[in-house]
């Protein structure tokens, strides 16, 4: 059986190798959190119409 290892790169450039079985689970959780944050950021960056534009469309 092959043991999996996850390698992380810390903010200061240090590489951390994690060979624990939980490492794969924590890695997938981290990737999910990054994707969720990216989607939320995209939603927040949508252009919003000003109140005047909405009001003029209603009249």
Tell me the DSSP string of the chain. -PPP-EEEE-TTS-EEEE-STHHHHHHHHHHHHHHHHHHHHHHHTS----HHHHHHHH-
Q: How confident is the model at residue 1 (pLDDT cuts 50, 70, 90)?
A: low
Does residue 3 contact residue 24 with C-beta atoms inside 8 Å? Answer: no
Structure tokens at 41: 């950021």
Give percent of the chain with pLDDT exceeding 70.
Answer: 86
| Mean pLDDT of the chain, nearest integer | 78
Q: What confidence tens digit (pLDDT) does each residue in 2-26 have? A: 667 777 777 788 888 878 777 777 7
Q: Is the pTM of this model over 0.85?
A: no
């Amino acid at each position: 059986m092959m043991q999996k290892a996850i390698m992380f790169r810390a903010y200061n450039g240090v590489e951390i190798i994690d060979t624990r079985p939980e490492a794969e689970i924590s890695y997938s959780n981290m990737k999910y959190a990054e994707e969720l944050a990216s989607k939320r950021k995209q939603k927040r960056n949508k252009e919003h119409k000003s109140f005047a534009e909405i009001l003029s469309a209603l009249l």
